[in-house]
Amino acid sequence: AQSVTQLDSHVSVSEGTPVLLRCNYSSSYSPSLFWYVQHPNKGLQLLLKYTSAATLVKGINGFEAEFKKSETSFHLTKPSAHMSDAAEYFCVVSAPLGSYKLIFGSGTRLLVRP
Amino acid sequence: KAGVTQTPRYLIKTRGQQVTLSCSPISGHRSVSWYQQTPGQGLQFLFEYFSETQRNKGNFPGRFSGRQFSNSRSEMNVSTLELGDSALYLCASSHRPGQGATEAFFGQGTRLTVV
């Protein structure tokens, strides 16, 4: 079975400092992994996806994530936080081929202090 | 290119009533999935449709149902509404289901409040 654990429910950073949102996954096969962001009262927007082509994945708005199989991790990082980054972030793993089901982590709320 | 459109954006219903939510996927996308988002349970998978067929179903009671039309538009229905059905219902469309790492594009959701 597939599952995702987001290790922090809340992360608070100052504007201009690095962001680290942690995610561990469990999968019985080679997973597809995603990070989505949700701003208040909005739907979900894809930040980036891991497809096994490269372990370091670059996404939109300066975010990137590194897939580490040995650690079963897919942490999301950004070198310098911006106020507009304040939102909830979801780490997601996809179900096996043949059905398109996304399994979401519980979410990490990012607060950016001025 | 238009995104995923969900209607209505907000709904208030009374316990015991039924409700139908609509989702229009991105043009060319044939897979539509539905998710329920609540503060307590987070984001949970409801069901997925492809070419008018339900391919996968989450762990929800039979009061939750859906369908997909030949133009890929989808509806979900909840009958005999309960207070616990209050949630944000999100629809997602994708282009190539079942072929790995195909991202899903989400609508803005329908906020259902049951009173």
Name chain A contacts of B90, Cβ cutoff 8 Å.
43-44
Chain B residues with CB-CB distance to A107 below 8 A: 42-43
> Is residue B103's pLDDT more than 90?
no
Nearest to B90 among A43, A99, A103 (CB): A43
Q: What CA–CA distances, in Å, run from B33 to B14, B19, B82?
A: 26, 18, 22
Look at residue A91 in the predicted model and tell me its pLDDT.
97
Query: Is residue A85 classed as helix, strand or coil in its secondary structure?
Result: helix
- What does the pLDDT average to over A95-111? 83
For the residues A1-23, what does the mean pLDDT come to? 95
Give the mean pLDDT of chain B. Answer: 92
Query: How do residues B40-82 score in pLDDT, each as one tens digit?
Result: 899 999 999 988 999 889 999 999 999 999 999 999 999 999 9
- What are the CA-CA distances from residue B25 to residues A87, B5, B10, B82, B104 (Å)? 25, 7, 19, 28, 10
pLDDT of B1 reads 64
A25 and A5 Cβ atoms separated by less than 8 Å: yes
Q: pLDDT digits over A42-77, tens only? A: 889 999 998 777 889 999 999 999 999 999 999 999
Taking 70 as the threshold, does the pLDDT of residue A99 lie above it? no
Q: Is the peptide bond before B8 cis (omega within 30 degrees of 0)?
A: yes
Q: Residue B99: pLDDT above 70?
A: no
**Chain A contact present for B104, CB below 8 A:** yes
